[in-house]
């Protein structure tokens, strides 16, 4: 099995992938209706950032990026916890997870 | 006595009288108020007389009493003192003002006897005298202007004295505003002269007057004097600003006598005479003055022929007579103008007071069609009025003859005059004789048309004494200015008047004395024509009362035109006043309310509009908000990358 | 590598103190078997913590020392804006103590969260490493989401929390992406590392340019610069009033602190486009905030929009600091403005908070009608706050604007200053409205609670401070400026 | 210290009134205070040295060192009478509002005193920012005065007033800041000191609008022009006047409008001499247009207060015309007219307030024949009317005459237009007077259920000082002009390199100071 292609994957590929993931996450936030899915999309965005960090870290030969990723993951976890807690509260209160339902504050 | 003190007495005693009566404004008694006011003026008159005596005692070349009380307004080059001068011209004026004024105040006590506002009336009258004295005594144009506006104010107050009548109040307002038009021009004239000569002081101005006549229309002297003359047309009721004077008859009759015949309306003439060295160097202005004067003479006289209101007739007559004075000024005969000013003050004040006596007797009736044959009820009034009549139609040796004739002679002969102007003057004299005779006839002669419930009676002595005094003056007033040609014939009677004024009056350039024959011929012509005209009028209104009506029928369009005063008021209203009011309404409505305000609202609306756009973008949808963020990021990135 | 030294510990002692005291109320509650202690006790514990923290911040901070391997810096910005944040937190908590939507059940938890958020703020305000910035940001924001959701009011607060959370996380992700790009281009995340080179880097490295743009836009979200402002009115309206006050002042202050640090790299000097775009954002923000505020009926929403507008003014100062050779002036003007802004906004929200009689009570501007007759003192205070917000002298609001615009003019950003004053004219229009309603309309406005409660006292103190600071704004400003050297 | 006391004493009074416990005695208290203030300001006249154009009684302390902003009070011939006008009108206003302001008396007097401080500060401050603070501060109490004690549309009017004037002045703030930087460039140290501003030589390019001096000039001029207000920017004024309560209108017309014209004299003309000269035609034009426009629009107003408000536009047009004539006559006239307008228009508003208290209407058409019913009122009203139409021997004449003379000397063409204002002024005032006071009794006057009473003692006491001033200023103008002569000559003659020297306190004061030691 030829694994050379792996070596040919450069920084740019990772970055583009990460950018794509970021955009997908963004699109998810913009387009999906379910609050939970929105949360997941945000996680996707954060993870794409993680990917960017790791890729840079690897190609710059620095360890910092990897450490940063741990920080980010921790924060993402905290964020997810808060987000899910919110989602649960809201669901309990309104029986609704469609984001379009929450349009009382406007104008 | 000290001149300053005397001057202060002359000027301030009417003011004090005004203040006393002013603070008593609620009192009704005409006697007390009248006596206070009359005494105030009498003091002024006596002081004036002493001043003038002092003046006469002075050597001829330095006849001038100047008093400066304080510096009034001093800014940069502008130095105006509260300074007053008695010289040959103002001496005459103050004597007329305080003298005739005293008589009229006295007369007013009787006339206003029943009026509840008497205190106010006398206060105004005193204030008027005060302002008139400021006007004539002031040593600079600005001080004169103070009096000039002040007399306008008093005229306003007195015309609208019976203010509950809206029309009378309107007449007062009309007088003031018309005068203001003139005053605005007066101001401009002052500015122009000040900017040119750097002073407003009369003696300095006269000294600085150019020695060569100015031919340009836009030269400082010409323009300045023209503006001043426009001011004079307002105050002295000349075309085109005469319109207020007939309406001014709404005031009490003594007021008409004092203000609108004897004194205030002559202020314009006085001002021109004051500045004669300046005016004479502006031949263009002089021409305009002469033409306006002559036109006014004829114009007003024709209207006078058709009026039925006794005071209106006299008012138009005043306008016409003032025209003579301006005609005189215009041809350079300033002395003659002053002379006529004086004689006119006597006989016209007399006639107004006489008419007041008639109106008083007729219980406020002013329509001559409802009079007639009053001779027997009002003997004194009739006699004095008769003297006035003789004076105004120019019968020798009554006062009017001398002054009017001098004017006509000058008009004919002066290099600035012309036979056409003379002809206009003579025509005016003829017409004057006609309508004055008509007035006499309709009022005093012929059959009585007085309604049954009116019982005319002669006025009290308080009113008749001034009449008699003025009557005498109307007879003898002219004798101080006997023309040389007559004086020589009658035994070397000197022309005191001319001699007296001589130092202050600039000679007419290119003047040549008229030969005697021509002068007699001119005299004869005007007197003769006046006699014929008076005779016709006598025939029409006494012998054949139906004739005038028939003639009027025959020339109906012309008659109506004249009867309606050539529709001048209507034209003024239609062409100036109403359009102006409409314009104002429109600019208020369209510019202020609907444009400027709307523009500011527009700014507000713009902000609100943007606000509502932004609000509508704030839908409450989180994803939309996220979209804004996304778009913002994308736009920013793409902009940033374009480097 | 460096180890943790005593100096580091001393420097971060304010955070530690705050964190430790934040635990007290909640620990007490646990020990009491999940029973609330008296809320006054909770409040006083919190206030004591804040005071200690503030004291430590004043004592140890401010010398420009860095801690934790250049991760945190303690300079004038830290000190002043940290103090603003702590002060706002204190005032916010006093308001929470008396607001029906926050007091009572779960008050200890609420205070704990608020203080945690304050800890995050202190971190953010001191952070010079982008990663620490991010951590501080999240530490600050996450408790806030919860605090809002914890409101006793059932509907709008939940919606507000959700919106805030979603958009906040979204923006954090964008910011973090920018951090990643900067890391990629420079090999580090420390701002101090590329302090001098940013101007060059933005020209040479597109990656860096992207990264810094992302970061800046991420902060634009936090400080509600249009068009990233959309959350602000919704959240401020939906959140309990004390929280809105807290967010509008503390969050804004510390976010601007971080913003200033980013901008101090002088990236703007290198990229004209970035410079342009920020200027436009400032203009747009001022216009959006001010015009949208005109049409609001809800008092809190109006103040929210006004807060957007004020961010626009502040951005002018930030830009000035970013392009200036003498960036301290611009930065000082921003700090001074934030300081004064904190007073007036806290005051205005305090009045709004006092008006709320129950947790579901919505305060419209018209509800203020007649307040002047019932509560002249409070109306006067409100008037002072609003006039100060509008920038009418001699209130401190005027001097704040004056220094900002002065800095802008000094840098040749005349047109921004002109936009600033012109939009402040629009601002006057809506700031006058509550005054009109209070003084010139008849009504039955009523204040909940005692006439002399903690919030009232706070409001009066704020009003006095605003007027007094107007007179001594010069020395304060100089102090701010001096502390930045 | 005297200037500081003059400026800030009212503020202290405001505080005392604010905490005064008894509502019933507030009016007496406030009246007493305002008299004290007036007497104190009379002391200024006594101390004032009229021979110098310099700045006197200077108090200067650095306030905001960082920007060279100082607490800088001073007085010269231009400020002196405006200060006196302010302190003179205040007791009159308090007396005039004795019965018309019946609600929130405390708030009213507090506003009044704060306003007084703001106005006095505006006239006496010689530091740009210090000045600006007072300038803007003056809006606030006025805003309350109109908004709380005003008429039916008071809120609309007061907001319009506030925003209009605020909008005008913000650009001035930017210009001030810019000039502070110019001083920094010129001297190395930033300064907001007006005297330092005077020393600046700001480059001027004739034809270009977007040149430095021109832009700064317009930034300042706009602020002052709105305050004055000049013709196209005047629409806030009629609304504000009509809706304001009597004392508000009096202050507004009497003093606040003067802040605008004062600004032209103190700031615009000496700071930007070339631009002022270059654009003089524009300001003379809007001045002249304003005179005619204001008069014409005043003529057709159905509401007497609005009529007077528009007459203000007309009168303020004169002032502008005079100032931009750039000669002693015009400037002195302009300054004099400021005082005249303050007194006569103030008096008119007071009297309209008096009649409004009696009938609760300002509609001219409903009046008529007042002269027969209220003779005393009529006399006072008439005197004030005369002053307003500039009859000689009243104060109005001196101002108008000097202005028109100055204008004629500078630009005759504008004088030709402006002089029509003399006519129109008489038209609208007298027409109004005729409709209200003459003729048959109008519906309000004839109303048997509400018989009208003539002025009472208090009201006469209000009017007497005003009327005395009208005549005093008309008959002895030099008493007043002498004090401002040196300052105005300095302004006229040294416009292009204008500066004020600070005159050390007079010998008397030094001796006094030594005596204390």
Among candidate residues D382, D346, D354, the one with its CA nearest the CA of residue D466: D346
pLDDT at B371: 85
Task: Give pLDDT tens digits for B311-354.
Answer: 999 999 999 999 999 999 999 889 899 999 999 999 999 999 99
Q: Quick one: closest CA in C to B624, which residue?
A: C230
Which C positions 427-446 lie with beta carbon below 8 A of chain D?
428-429, 432, 435-436, 439-441
pLDDT at C358: 83
Q: Which other chains touch chain B, taking contact as 3+ CB pairs less than 8 Å apart?
A: A, C, D
pTM over cut 0.90 = yes
Task: Give pLDDT tens digits for D221-237.
Answer: 999 999 988 888 888 99
Give me the residue from B607, B612, B633 closest to C217, CB to CB.
Answer: B633
pLDDT at A97: 85
DSSP run (H or E) holding B75: strand B65-75
pLDDT at D476: 92
Inform me whether the C-beta atom of residue B70 falls under 8 Å from chain C C-beta atoms.
no
The answer to whether residue B216 scores a pLDDT higher than 70 is yes
- CA distances D260 to C405, D268, D316, D320, Å, are 24, 10, 10, 10
In angstroms, the separation between the Cα of residue D72 and the nearest Cα of chain C is 14
pLDDT at C105: 83
Give me the residue from B164, B183, B581 closest to D372, CB to CB.
Answer: B164
pLDDT at D218: 92
Task: Give pLDDT tens digits for D247-302.
Answer: 999 999 999 999 999 999 999 999 999 999 999 999 999 999 999 999 999 999 99
The answer to whether residue A1 scores a pLDDT higher than 60 is no
- CB within 8 Å: D391 and B150: yes
- CB within 8 Å: D129 and C402: yes
Query: How many inter-chain contacts (C to D, CB under 8 Å) are there?
Result: 83
In B, which residues are within 8 Å of D426 by CB distance? Answer: 176-177, 180
pLDDT category, B368, cuts 50, 70, 90? confident
Give me the residue from D379, D420, D485 closest to B184, CB to CB.
Answer: D420
Q: Quick one: closest CA in A to C295, which residue?
A: A107
pLDDT at D517: 45
Work out the widest C-alpha separation in chain A, in whole angstroms: 61
Task: Give pLDDT tens digits for B289-298.
Answer: 999 999 999 9
Mutate to test the interface with B, among C292, C301, C315, C432 (most CBs of B within 10 A): C292
- CA distances C150 to A80, A89, C162, Å, are 17, 10, 12
pLDDT category, D507, cuts 50, 70, 90? very low
In C, which residues are within 8 Å of B633 by CB distance? Answer: 174, 214, 217
ipTM of the complex in this document: 0.91
d(CA C383, CA C467): 11
Inform me whether the C-beta atom of residue C174 falls under 8 Å from chain B C-beta atoms.
yes
8 Å CB contact between D318 and D287: yes
Averaged pLDDT, A35-63: 90
Task: Give pLDDT tens digits for B564-603.
Answer: 888 888 888 888 889 999 999 998 888 888 888 888 888 8
DSSP for B371-437?
---GGGT-HHHHHHHHHHHHHHTT-TTSHHHHHHHHHHHHHHHSTT--HHHHHHHHHHHHHHHHHHH
Inform me whether the C-beta atom of residue D485 falls under 8 Å from chain B C-beta atoms.
yes
Q: Quick one: closest CA in C to B604, which residue?
A: C426
Q: Quick one: closest CA in C to A37, which residue?
A: C166
pLDDT category, D512, cuts 50, 70, 90? low
d(CA B385, CA B371): 15
Task: Give pLDDT tens digits for D52-102.
Answer: 888 888 888 988 888 889 999 999 989 999 999 999 999 999 999 888 888
With touching defined as 3+ CB pairs under 8 A, do chains C and D touch?
A: yes
Which D positions 20-59 lie with beta carbon below 8 A of chain B?
none
What average pLDDT does chain B have? 89
Q: Quick one: closest CA in B to C277, which residue?
A: B636
In angstroms, the separation between the Cα of residue D498 and the nearest Cα of chain B is 19
Give me the residue from D415, D416, D477 closest to B73, CB to CB.
Answer: D477
- CB within 8 Å: D64 and C424: no
Q: Which other chains touch chain D, taking contact as 3+ CB pairs less than 8 Å apart?
A: B, C
CATH of A4-101, one of 1.20.120.1230, 1.10.287.3510, 3.30.1360.120, 3.40.50.2000: 1.10.287.3510
Give me the residue from C174, C209, C292 closest to B611, CB to CB.
Answer: C292
Among candidate residues B7, B180, B14, the one with its CA nearest the CA of residue B81: B7
Q: Exposure string (b/e) for B589-607, b if CB count within 10 Å is 16 or more?
A: eebbeeebbeebeeebeeb
**What is the percent of chain B with per-residue pLDDT over 90, rounded to a whole number?**
41
List residues of C whose CB lies inside 8 A of any A CB.
131, 134-135, 138, 142, 145-146, 149, 154-156, 158-163, 165-166, 169-170, 172-174, 176-177, 179-181, 183-184, 187-189, 233-235, 237-238, 295-296, 301
Name B136's Cβ contacts closer than 8 Å, sequence gap at least 6.
Answer: B90, B93, B94, B97, B144, B147, B267, B270
Inform me whether the C-beta atom of residue B571 falls under 8 Å from chain D C-beta atoms.
no
- CA distances C319 to C222, C268, C405, D90, Å, are 16, 8, 11, 47
Per domain, the residue ranges of chain A are 4-101
Task: Give pLDDT tens digits for B103-138.
Answer: 999 999 988 888 888 888 999 999 999 999 999 999
Give me the residue from A15, A72, A90 closest to C158, CB to CB.
Answer: A90
Helix, strand, coil percent values for chain A (each to nearest 5): 80, 0, 20
- CB within 8 Å: B637 and C213: yes
With touching defined as 3+ CB pairs under 8 A, do chains B and C touch?
A: yes
Which D positions 298-317 lie with beta carbon below 8 A of chain B?
299-301
d(CA B65, CA B52): 9
Q: Which other chains touch chain A, taking contact as 3+ CB pairs less than 8 Å apart?
A: B, C
Residue B376: both structure tokens together? 């027997």
Inform me whether the C-beta atom of residue C173 falls under 8 Å from chain B C-beta atoms.
no
Which C positions 89-128 lie with beta carbon below 8 A of chain B?
none
Task: Give pLDDT tens digits for B251-303.
Answer: 898 998 988 888 899 999 999 999 999 998 889 999 999 999 999 999 999 99
Q: Quick one: closest CA in B to A29, which residue?
A: B623
d(CA D67, CA C406): 9
* 8-state DSSP, B567: G
In D, which residues are within 8 Å of B142 by CB distance? Answer: 401
Q: What is the CA radius of gyration of chain A?
A: 18
Give me the residue from A62, A71, A106 closest to C187, CB to CB.
Answer: A62
In angstroms, the separation between the Cα of residue C458 and the nearest Cα of chain B is 33
Mutate to test the interface with C, among B640, B641, B642, B643 (most CBs of C within 10 A): B640
The answer to whether residue D435 scores a pLDDT higher than 80 is yes
In C, which residues are within 8 Å of B612 by CB distance? Answer: 295
With touching defined as 3+ CB pairs under 8 A, do chains A and C touch?
A: yes
The answer to whether residue D514 scores a pLDDT higher than 60 is no
Inform me whether the C-beta atom of residue B220 falls under 8 Å from chain D C-beta atoms.
no
Residue C339: both structure tokens together? 């300081």
pLDDT at B151: 92
Task: Give pLDDT tens digits for D16-62.
Answer: 998 888 888 899 999 999 999 999 999 989 888 888 888 888 888 98
Give me the residue from D65, D171, D178 closest to C478, CB to CB.
Answer: D65
Inform me whether the C-beta atom of residue D397 falls under 8 Å from chain B C-beta atoms.
yes
pLDDT at B14: 93
Averaged pLDDT, B45-62: 90
Q: Quick one: closest CA in D to B594, which residue?
A: D235
Residue C64: both structure tokens together? 């420009």
In B, which residues are within 8 Å of A106 by CB distance? Answer: 618-621
Low-confidence ranges of chain C (pLDDT < 50): 1
Mutate to test the interface with C, among B601, B632, B637 (most CBs of C within 10 A): B632
Q: Exposure string (b/e) for C96-121, b if CB count within 10 Å is 16 or more?
A: bbbbbbbbeeebbbbbbbbbbbbbbb
């Amino acid at each position: 099995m030829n694994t050379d292609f792996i070596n040919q994957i450069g920084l740019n590929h990772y970055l583009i992938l990460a950018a794509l993931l970021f955009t997908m996450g963004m699109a998810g936030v913009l387009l999906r209706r379910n609050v939970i899915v929105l949360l997941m999309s945000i996680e996707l965005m954060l993870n794409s950032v993680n990917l960017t960090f790791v890729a840079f870290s690897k190609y710059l030969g620095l360890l910092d990026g990897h450490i940063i990723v741990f920080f980010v993951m921790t924060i993402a976890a905290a964020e997810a916890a808060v987000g899910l807690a919110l989602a649960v509260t809201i669901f309990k209160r309104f029986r609704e997870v469609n984001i379009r339902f929450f349009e009382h504050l406007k104008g | 006595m000290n001149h300053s003190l005397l001057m202060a007495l002359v000027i301030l005693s009417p003011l004090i009288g005004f203040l006393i009566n002013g603070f008593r404004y609620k009192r009704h008694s005409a006697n007390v108020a009248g006596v206070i006011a009359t005494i105030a003026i009498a003091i002024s008159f006596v002081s004036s007389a002493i001043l003038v005596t002092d003046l006469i005692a002075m050597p001829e070349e330095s006849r001038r009493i100047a008093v400066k009380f304080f510096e009034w307004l001093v800014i940069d080059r502008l130095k105006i003192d509260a300074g007053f001068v008695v010289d040959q011209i103002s001496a005459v004026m103050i004597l007329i003002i305080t003298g005739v004024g005293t008589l009229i105040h006295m007369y007013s006590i009787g006339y206003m006897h029943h009026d509840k506002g008497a205190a106010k009336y006398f206060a105004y009258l005193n204030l008027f005298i005060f302002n008139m004295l400021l006007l004539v005594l002031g040593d600079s144009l600005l001080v004169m202007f103070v009096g000039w506006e002040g007399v306008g104010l008093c005229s306003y107050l007195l015309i609208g004295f019976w203010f509950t009548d809206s029309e009378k109040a309107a007449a007062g307002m009309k007088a003031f505003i018309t005068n203001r038009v003139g005053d605005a021009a007066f101001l401009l004239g002052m500015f122009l002269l000040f900017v040119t000569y750097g002073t407003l002081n009369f003696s300095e101005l006269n000294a600085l007057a150019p020695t060569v006549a100015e031919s340009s229309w836009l030269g400082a002297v010409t323009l300045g004097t023209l503006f001043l003359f426009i001011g004079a047309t307002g105050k002295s009721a000349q075309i085109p600003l005469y319109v207020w004077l007939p309406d001014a008859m709404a005031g009490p009759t003594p007021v008409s006598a004092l203000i609108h015949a004897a004194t205030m309306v002559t202020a314009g003439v006085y001002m021109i005479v004051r500045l004669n060295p300046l005016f004479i160097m502006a031949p263009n202005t002089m021409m305009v003055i002469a033409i306006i004067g002559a036109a006014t003479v004829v114009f007003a006289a024709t209207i006078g022929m058709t009026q039925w209101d006794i005071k209106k007739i006299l008012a138009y007559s005043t306008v016409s007579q003032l025209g003579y004075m301006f005609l005189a000024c215009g041809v350079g005969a300033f002395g003659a103008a002053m002379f006529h000013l004086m004689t006119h003050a006597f006989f016209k004040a007399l006639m107004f007071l006489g008419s007041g006596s008639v109106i008083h007797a007729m219980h406020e009736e002013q329509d001559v069609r409802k009079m007639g044959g009053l001779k027997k009820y009002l003997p004194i009034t009739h006699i004095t009025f008769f003297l006035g009549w003789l004076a105004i139609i120019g019968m020798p040796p009554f006062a009017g003859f001398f002054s009017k004739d001098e004017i006509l002679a000058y008009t004919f002969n002066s290099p600035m005059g012309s036979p056409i102007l003379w002809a206009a003057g003579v025509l005016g004299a003829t017409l004057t004789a006609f309508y004055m005779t008509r007035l006499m006839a309709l009022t005093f002669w012929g059959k009585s048309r007085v309604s049954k419930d009116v019982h005319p009676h002669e006025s009290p002595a308080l009113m008749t004494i001034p009449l008699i005094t003025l009557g005498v003056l109307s007879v003898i007033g002219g004798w101080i200015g006997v023309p040389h040609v007559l004086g020589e014939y009658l035994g070397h009677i000197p022309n005191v008047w001319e001699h007296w004024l001589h130092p202050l009056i600039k000679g007419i350039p290119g003047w040549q004395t008229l030969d005697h024959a021509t002068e007699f011929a001119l005299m004869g012509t005007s007197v003769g024509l006046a006699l014929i005209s008076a005779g016709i009028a006598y025939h029409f209104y006494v012998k054949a009362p139906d004739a005038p009506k028939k003639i009027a029928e025959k020339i109906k369009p012309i008659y109506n035109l004249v009867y309606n005063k050539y529709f001048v008021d209507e034209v003024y209203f239609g062409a100036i006043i109403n359009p102006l009011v409409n314009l104002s309404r429109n600019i208020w409505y369209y510019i202020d309310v609907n444009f400027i305000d709307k523009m500011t609202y527009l700014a507000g609306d713009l902000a609100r509009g943007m606000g509502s756009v932004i609000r509508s973008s704030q839908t409450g949808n989180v994803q939309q908000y996220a979209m804004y963020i996304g778009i913002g990021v994308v736009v920013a990135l793409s902009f940033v990358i374009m480097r | 590598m460096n180890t943790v030294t005593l100096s580091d510990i001393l420097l971060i002692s304010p955070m530690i103190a705050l964190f430790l005291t934040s635990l007290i109320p909640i620990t007490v509650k646990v020990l009491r078997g999940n029973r609330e202690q008296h809320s006054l006790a909770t409040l006083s514990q919190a206030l004591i913590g804040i005071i200690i923290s503030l004291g430590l911040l004043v004592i140890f901070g401010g010398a420009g020392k860095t801690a934790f391997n250049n991760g945190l810096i303690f300079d004038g910005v830290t000190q002043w804006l940290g103090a603003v944040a702590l002060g706002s937190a204190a005032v916010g908590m006093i308001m929470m103590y008396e607001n029906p939507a926050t007091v009572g059940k779960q008050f200890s938890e609420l205070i704990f969260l608020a203080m945690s958020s304050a800890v995050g703020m202190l971190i953010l305000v001191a952070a010079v490493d982008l990663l620490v910035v991010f951590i501080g940001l999240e530490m600050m924001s996450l408790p806030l989401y919860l605090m809002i959701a914890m409101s006793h009011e059932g509907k709008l607060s939940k919606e507000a929390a959700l919106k805030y959370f979603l958009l906040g996380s979204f923006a954090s992700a964008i910011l973090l992406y920018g951090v990643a790009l900067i890391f990629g281009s420079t090999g580090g995340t420390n701002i101090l590392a590329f302090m001098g080179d940013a101007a060059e880097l933005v020209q040479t490295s597109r990656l860096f340019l992207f990264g810094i743009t992302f970061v800046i836009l991420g902060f634009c979200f936090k400080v509600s610069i249009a068009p990233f402002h959309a959350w602000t009115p919704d959240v401020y309206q939906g959140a309990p009033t004390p929280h809105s006050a807290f967010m509008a002042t503390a969050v804004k202050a510390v976010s601007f602190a971080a913003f200033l640090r980013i901008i101090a790299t002088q990236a703007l000097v290198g990229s004209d486009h970035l410079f342009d775009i920020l200027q436009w954002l400032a203009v747009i923000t001022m216009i959006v905030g001010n015009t949208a505020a005109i049409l609001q009926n809800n008092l809190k929403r109006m103040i929210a929009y006004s807060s957007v507008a004020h961010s626009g003014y502040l951005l002018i100062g930030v830009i000035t600091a970013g392009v200036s050779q003498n960036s301290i002036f611009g930065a000082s003007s921003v700090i001074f403005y934030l300081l004064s802004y904190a007073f007036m906004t806290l005051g205005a929200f305090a009045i709004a908070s006092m008006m709320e009689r129950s947790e579901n009570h919505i305060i419209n501007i018209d509800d203020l009608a007649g307040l002047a007759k019932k509560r002249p003192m409070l109306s006067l205070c409100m008037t002072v706050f609003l006039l100060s917000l509008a920038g009418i002298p001699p209130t401190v609001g005027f001097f704040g604007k004056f220094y900002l615009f002065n800095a802008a003019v000094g840098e040749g950003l005349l047109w921004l200053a002109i936009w600033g004053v012109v939009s402040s004219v629009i601002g006057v229009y809506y700031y006058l409205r509550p005054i009109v309603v209070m003084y010139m309309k008849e009504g039955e406005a009523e204040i909940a609670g005692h006439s002399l409660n903690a919030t009232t006292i706070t409001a009066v103190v704020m009003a006095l401070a605003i007027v007094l600071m107007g007179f001594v704004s010069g020395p304060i400003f100089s102090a701010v400026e001096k502390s930045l050297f | 210290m005297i200037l500081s006391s003059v400026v800030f004493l009212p503020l202290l009074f405001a505080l005392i009134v604010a905490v005064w416990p008894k509502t019933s005695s507030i009016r007496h208290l406030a009246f007493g205070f305002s008299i004290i203030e007036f007497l104190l300001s009379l002391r200024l006249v006594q101390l004032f040295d009229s021979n110098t154009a310099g700045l006197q009684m200077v108090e200067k302390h650095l306030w905001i060192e960082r920007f060279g902003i100082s607490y800088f009070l001073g007085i010269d011939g231009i400020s002196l009478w405006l200060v006196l006008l302010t302190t003179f009108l205040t007791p009159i206003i308090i007396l005039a509002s004795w019965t018309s302001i019946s609600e929130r008396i405390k708030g009213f007097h507090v506003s009044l005193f704060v306003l007084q401080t703001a106005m006095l500060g505006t006239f006496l401050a010689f530091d740009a920012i210090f000045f600006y603070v007072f300038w803007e501060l003056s809006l606030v109490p006025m805003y309350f005065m109109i908004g709380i004690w005003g008429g039916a549309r008071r809120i609309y009017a007061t907001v319009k007033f506030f925003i209009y004037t605020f909008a005008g002045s913000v650009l001035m703030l930017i210009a001030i800041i810019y000039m502070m930087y110019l001083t920094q460039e010129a001297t190395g140290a930033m300064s907001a000191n007006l005297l330092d501003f005077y020393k600046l030589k700001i480059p001027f390019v004739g034809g270009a609008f977007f040149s430095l001096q021109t832009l700064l000039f317009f930034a300042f001029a706009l602020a002052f022009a709105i305050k004055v207000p000049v013709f196209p920017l005047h629409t806030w004024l009629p609304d504000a006047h009509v809706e304001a309560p009597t004392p508000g209108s009096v202050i507004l017309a009497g003093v606040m409008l003067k802040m605008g014209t004062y600004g032209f004299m103190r700031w615009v003309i000496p700071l930007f001499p070339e631009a002022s000269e270059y654009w003089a035609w524009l300001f003379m034009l809007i001045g002249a247009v304003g005179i005619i426009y204001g008069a014409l629009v005043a003529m057709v107003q159905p509401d007497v207060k609005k009529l007077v408000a528009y007459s203000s536009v007309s009168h303020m047009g004169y002032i502008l015309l005079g100032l931009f004539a750039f000669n002693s006559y015009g400037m002195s006239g302009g300054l004099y007219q400021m005082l005249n307008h303050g007194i006569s228009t103030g008096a008119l508003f007071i009297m309209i307030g008096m009649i409004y208290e009696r009938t609760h209407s300002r509609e001219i058409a409903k009046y008529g024949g007042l002269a027969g019913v209220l003779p005393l009122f009529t006399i006072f009203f008439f005197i004030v009317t005369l002053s307003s139409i500039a009859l000689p021997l009243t104060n109005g004449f001196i101002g108008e005459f000097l202005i028109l003379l100055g204008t004629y000397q500078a630009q005759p063409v504008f004088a030709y237009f402006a002089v029509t204002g003399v006519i129109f002024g008489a038209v609208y005032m007298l027409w109004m007077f005729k409709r209200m006071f003459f003729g048959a009794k109008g519906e309000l006057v004839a109303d048997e259920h509400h018989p009208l009473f003539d002025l009472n003692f208090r009201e006469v006491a209000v009017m007497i000082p005003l009327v005395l001033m009208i005549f005093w200023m008309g008959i002895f103008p030099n008493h007043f002009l002498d004090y401002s002569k040196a300052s105005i000559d300095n302004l006229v003659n040294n416009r292009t390199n204008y500066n004020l020297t600070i005159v050390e306190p007079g010998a008397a004061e030094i001796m006094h100071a030594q005596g204390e030691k």
